[in-house]
Each structure stands twice: as structure tokens, then as C-alpha cells.
Amino acid sequence: MGGYGPGRQLDGLAAVARAALVRRIEASGVWAADPGWRAAFAAVPRHLFVPYYYVGVAGGYERRWGESADRGARERWLRGAYEDTPLATRLRDGELLSSSSQPSLMADMLAALDVADGHTVLEIGAGTGYNAALLAHRLGDDKVTTVDLDPEITESARRHLAAAGYHPVVVTGDGARGVPERAPFDRIIATCALSTVPCAWVAQSRPGGRILMPLATGLIVLTVTGAGDAEGRFLHTPAYFVPLRGTGRPGGESAQLGGVPRRAREDDLFRFLLALTRGSLDPQEAHALWEQEGRPQRERYGITVRGEREWAWLDDPEGPYAWPLPS
């Protein structure tokens, strides 16, 4: 466990825990189309990217640390680093600022990115650096750029990446603006939530490129057709991410849910529709549509970008159900 001193004697435990995580993810079949991702998850040591993290306990959070003087505490930290769960890595006044995403969700997203050898990738949201390391293992350091607004996050990501033997380009800057000096990109992947598709990402993508980003508790995959245009559908996977810093917190559903049956209020797919149509439909209108259309799954929804105009839709981008995304 190079670079983290007292943890070195736990190398064997780390290898066993990492192999178990890989087997759990592999059982889903997510790597069938590209076994290169299995090799990446098997090779990249997640624990080097989370030298400490926080777990929720009654009344707040408990810090787990790889440098603890107590061997049992170090083992709990290490086992937790290879659980298939998101890990809170940076808190401020009780608010989550950064995290390491759930590995199986990362695997789903990377598989959906549909990379090929030679592709260049821009990652929005450097986080711990773990996702950038997976990309660098699959494609090569020189093909991967990761950006984050917070210099403390980019500096720690650089340290983690170097400790694991990876050296992609790490940029401190506003992710919503992309990284024009490294463009164009074949793929852009965001590991933070937004409420609209930044025009810069479309402009910095090659024609035929792919943008994958969290939006409205889902994951949208857009294909760039050129000239500032892009279109695509949501994956079936629910996704909850920390918002992109500098853009404000993406709006959720309205709190005024009176008149909406409890079953709907608690349904993840109805809440997704509320988040997607925020500002266009009130909860009662959204509920009527949701019931009328058979409680549609996420895959029936999509997003279209035409220059500065962006809209979400159900089933057909030119159909009767379309809603502008907030500007």
C-alpha cells in the first residue's frame, strides 16, 4: 500500500478485497463488451485514493483512516475501501463536498462511455482521482484529462494518482467550461450532477463523440452530431451525485406534493420526472402524466441540445411531451 506507511502490512488483505469487489461487479455482466475495464478495476488499488473517508453514524460521521495506530481500525478502513459503496471523502460543516462513487456505478458509467483504444477523454470532477486512474489504465495517461474547481481536490488527486503509478493531466478550473486547450475530446464523462448540458462540452467534443453525465437523478448519454448539437437517452440506472461546484445545486422536485398519492411521492421514477421537469410541470401535472404514460422508466426519456436550446422529452424529441431545461 505504497505511500501510506503503517498500512503496508495489509497488502495481502487489499489484494483479496479488491479481487472480491471485481468478482461482484463482474457478475452483473457489465464488462462483457469491453473486458479492458475488468483489467482496470483489478489493477487500480482503490484504497490508495481514499487514505481516509467518512461513514455515517448516529449523530454524524465517523472518520476511517489508513494511518491509524490501531491495526483493527486500519483493517476496517481497508475493507471499507473495497465495499461496493460510495465513500464520503470531503466534508465541510456537515455538507458533502466530494466522494468516491460506488464502484459498480462507476463500472456502469465507464462501460456506457463506450471507449475505444486511442480515444481521448475529459472527466469533469476529479474527486479522489480513482476514476481518472481507471481511465488512464484503460486508455493511457496521455489520453485522459480530469478537471476540478477546487485546488485542494486536484492536488490530492495528483498525489493519489502518482502513488498508484498513473499520471493523467489534472487541471484546476471550472469544469462547466471544459478544458479547451486539450480539446477536442472523443468522450466526456461527468462525475458530478448538473441541471443542464454545458455548451462548452458539446463544442469541445468531436462529431460522433459521447457525453455521459448525471442529471435529474439519472444518467444521460448524448451523441454529439456537430455544430453544437447533441441528443440521447437516459440509462436505466438511478444516480445521485454531488453537484458541480460553481453551478449551484441542481434543483430537485418541488416540496409541494399535496394531492399526490404517497405511493407516487415515494417512487424513484416519479421523483426523477419531477426533477427533470422542474419549472415546467407542477407535481400534480407530473403525476397525471406519469400515470397516463404507464409510469415510464428512465430509458423513455431523453435530452436534445440544439445550440443554446436544450429540452428534455418523453419518447420522442419532437413529440407532445417536451420540457425546456433551466437556463
Q: Any idea which residues carry the catalytic annotation?
A: 98
Contact assessment for residue 217 and residue 272, using Cβ atoms and an 8 Å cutoff: yes
Buried b (16+ CB within 10 A) or exposed e, 85-106: ebbbbbbeeeeebbbbbbbbbb
Contact assessment for residue 240 and residue 252, using Cβ atoms and an 8 Å cutoff: no
**Residue type at position 282:** D
- Residues constituting the chain: 327
In the sheet with 185-190, reading across from the earlier edge strand, the strands are 169-172, 144-148, 121-124, 185-190, 205-215, 218-226, 229-234, 301-306, 309-314, 322-324
Contact assessment for residue 1 and residue 8, using Cβ atoms and an 8 Å cutoff: yes
